[in-house]
């Protein structure tokens, strides 16, 4: 297939997750035009067969699809509308926001894009860097059924499972809820180990028992021994991002007049840890904060 026949994808945000996702699209014969503020990231994309764009506007020029993989929804809107970068997209092009954004911001973005003749699917992912590299991410897609169907092959290139969550904004709501449950599980697992240690139990034994019992969760299976007890703190997901996602869930609950105490307390704990340790610290390092509280 010639380059002119390939589906052109503008990929904005070539970080730890975005870079391998873009690479899978290149391997699946998409014409990927990528932009990132980091020149090293742009160079890495070029070395793998993508086109390194010097700006978001250049990446979006004549693109059929624009994918954003950025820290939050405000940055997504800036990438699309600062300098009118969106104007380079083909008429009726589809924007896929795969960032972790606030669902209310996502609905605002959908309105802005609809007003200029573009479409939006919010499709955040779960699975971390390891599954981004493997191409087995879980994708939570919100938007019109026809729009999601249109990019099903693209999703297959980067994901193992795709869940259609409902209308625009529902994917981002689902991602925030997932990370709340995940983040609460991390806190529960760590506090359980801290309690066990204080009583004289061996931490590794505690994790083994949890993983063979009803206390098992994602943290006990893939984080406690691997990153927390080993003190390597190298899961690849930043503490600030976890805190942001859980706060999105808490703000959503507040906007819906829901009094969810566990969610509120979990959000407060992660925010406090972010402030104490710094947002760039790996999220598994939250044990340092929890230890210092005692």
Which 3-state string (H, E, C) describes 163-183? EEEECCCHHHHHHHHHHHHHH
Q: For residues 251 and 125, give the distance between their C-alpha atoms in angstroms, rounded to a whole number.
A: 20
Instruction: Verify whether residue 254 is a known catalytic residue.
Output: no
Longest dimension (CA), the chain: 67
CA 222-125-152 angle, 5° bins: 130
DSSP strand pairing (125-126 vs 137-142): antiparallel
How many Cβ atoms sit within 10 Å of the Cβ of residue 43?
A: 12
Count CA within 13 A, CB hemisphere, residue 109: 31
| Catalytic site residue from 6, 90, 130, 175 | 175
Active-site residue list:
175
């Amino acid at each position: 297939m010639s380059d002119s026949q390939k589906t052109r994808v503008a990929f904005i945000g070539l970080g730890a997750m975005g870079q391998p996702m873009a690479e899978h699209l290149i391997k699946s014969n998409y014409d990927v035009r990528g932009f990132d503020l980091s020149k090293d990231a742009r160079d890495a994309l070029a070395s793998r067969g993508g086109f390194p764009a010097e700006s978001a506007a250049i990446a979006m020029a004549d693109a059929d699809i624009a994918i954003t993989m950025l820290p939050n929804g405000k940055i997504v809107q800036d990438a699309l509308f600062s300098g009118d970068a969106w104007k380079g997209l083909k008429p009726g092009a589809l924007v896929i926001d795969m960032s972790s954004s606030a669902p209310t911001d996502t609905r605002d973005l959908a309105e802005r894009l609809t007003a200029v003749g573009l479409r939006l699917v919010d499709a955040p992912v779960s699975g971390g860097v390891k599954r981004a590299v493997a191409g087995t991410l879980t994708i939570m897609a919100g938007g019109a059924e026809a729009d999601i169907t249109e990019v099903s092959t693209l999703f297959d290139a980067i994901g193992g499972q795709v869940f259609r969550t409902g209308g625009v904004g529902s994917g981002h709501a689902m991602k925030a809820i997932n990370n709340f449950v995940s983040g609460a599980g991390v806190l529960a697992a760590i506090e359980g180990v801290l309690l066990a240690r204080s009583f004289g139990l061996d931490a590794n034994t505690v994790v083994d028992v949890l993983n063979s019992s009803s206390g098992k969760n994602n943290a006990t299976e893939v984080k406690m021994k691997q990153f927390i007890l080993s003190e390597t703190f190298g899961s690849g997901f930043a503490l600030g991002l976890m805190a942001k996602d859980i706060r999105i869930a808490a703000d959503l609950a507040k906007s819906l007049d829901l009094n969810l105490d566990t969610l509120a307390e979990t959000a407060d704990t992660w925010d406090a840890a972010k402030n104490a340790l710094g947002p760039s610290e790996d999220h598994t390092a939250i044990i340092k904060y929890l230890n210092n509280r005692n």
